[in-house]
Amino acid sequence: MKRLRELRRARGMSMRQLGELLGVSESAISHYEKGLRQPKQALLLQLADLFEVTVDELLARPPGEAAGEGVLLPVFGRIRAGPPAIAMEEVEGWLAADLGEADGSGRYYYLRVQGDSMRDAGIFDGSRVLIRRQDFAENGDIVACMVDGEEATLKRFRRDGQVVALLPENPSYRPILLSLEDFDSGRAHILGVALMVKTLLK
């Protein structure tokens, strides 16, 4: 990964400094740069995010080359479509997305849904929802939203003046009502916007 060496040096970082940022040893960074070892997918995403490049650029390959017609994206641990639950856990797997839907920049990921509060939007228990990471939303967007620092929920976003409602798509559930002040203070913030859903049969 000669490109990694170029990016690191352009930032004026030593291998030790980069290793400390990533939680790996200096020798591991050296092996990555010399092509003796290949970072795992999760680490590749960290590197791409850190240096603000795509994974394809980091690996110096044409976009989508390794994934054929698509790109592999991480699937994060459960996000509850129902009452808010613990937010994102570690990566639990990988799922392909078409290049027209996402890229390897680290801005896209899947979240696995638990619960049925969004069933009328076609999002069911176990669905994988493709999320584009961003901290804002338009009325009508389905968003992944974190509340109180350790809770996450998937709901439809609706703002009316100073009030923000996170709306379920199931009449058995109640909306979550927040204020703009909750977002300004950091009590609540948007993790990303849902782009599409994949429901696996098994």
Give the start-end residues of each E strand in the chain.
70-80, 85-86, 91-98, 108-114, 128-133, 142-147, 151-160, 163-167, 176-179, 188-198
Task: Sort strands 108-114 and 70-80 into parallel, antiparallel or unpaired.
Answer: parallel
Contact of 183 with 169, CB cutoff 8 Å: no
Torsion sign, CA atoms 147, 153, 159, 163: negative
Is 40 known to be catalytic?
Answer: no
Catalytic one among 117, 127, 198, 202?
Answer: 117
In the chain, the amino acid numbered 117 is S
The string of DSSP letters for 115-136 reads SSTTGGGT--TT-EEEEEE-S-
Helix, coil or strand: residue 163: strand
Nearest to 14 by CA among 34, 1, 29, 31: 29
Is 117 known to be catalytic?
Answer: yes
Tokens of 29: 């960074």
Catalytic one among 27, 155, 185, 198?
Answer: 155
The residues carrying an active-site annotation are 117, 155
